[in-house]
Amino acid sequence: PDGETFWHTGEYAISGDPATRIYSFQLGCSSTTGIGENKKETTFSVNQLDNQLLVKANYLKSSDELVVDLFDITGKQINGKKITPVSEAFETSVDITGLTKGTYLVRIGNKNFQKVAKVIVK
């Protein structure tokens, strides 16, 4: 209803047991989401510096392990790694050497939280 949030429902299987998840995400180079336990808004940004995407998040809802994934615009995963935030924040980089110029998506999240940012690789 806000014109910026996309909603998705999906079915998946964990250890053979079917499950359903409903989640939302927003596209943007820098955005905020949700209120964490610390009552500050989660911030998430992606910036390009030469052949690296610098990914940063603060005020996460927890310090639980997250994944940082890079997708092309068709949804094909290009790169991914696991991150364990420290004090509900993290900074990492994603190597983009060899990628063609264009639009990509960076997703951070785990089973309880997801955030997606669109980035233009120059």
pLDDT tens digits, 64-91: 999 999 999 888 999 999 999 999 999 9
β-strand partners of 120 = 103
In this structure, the dihedral spanned by the alpha carbons of residues 116, 117, 120 and 122, taken in order and rounded to 10 degrees, is: -100
120, 103 Cβ separation under 8 angstroms: yes
Distance CA 111, CA 10 (A): 13
pLDDT tier for residue 27 given thresholds of 50, 70 and 90: low
Percent residues over pLDDT 70 in the chain: 84
pLDDT at residue 2, rounded to an integer: 62
Query: 102-110 and 113-121: which strand pairing?
Result: antiparallel
- Arithmetic mean of pLDDT, 3-26: 76
Question: What is the structure's pLDDT at 104?
Answer: 94
- The residue that leads in pLDDT, 25 or 121, is 121
Distance CA 54, CA 31 (A): 15
- Could you tell me which residues come within 8 angstroms of residue 77 by beta carbon, excluding any fewer than 6 positions away? 69, 70, 71
**Range name among 19-28, 61-70, 88-97 with the lowest pLDDT average:** 19-28
Pair 55, 91: CB distance under 8 Å: yes
pTM: 0.68
Specify the length of the chain in residues.
122
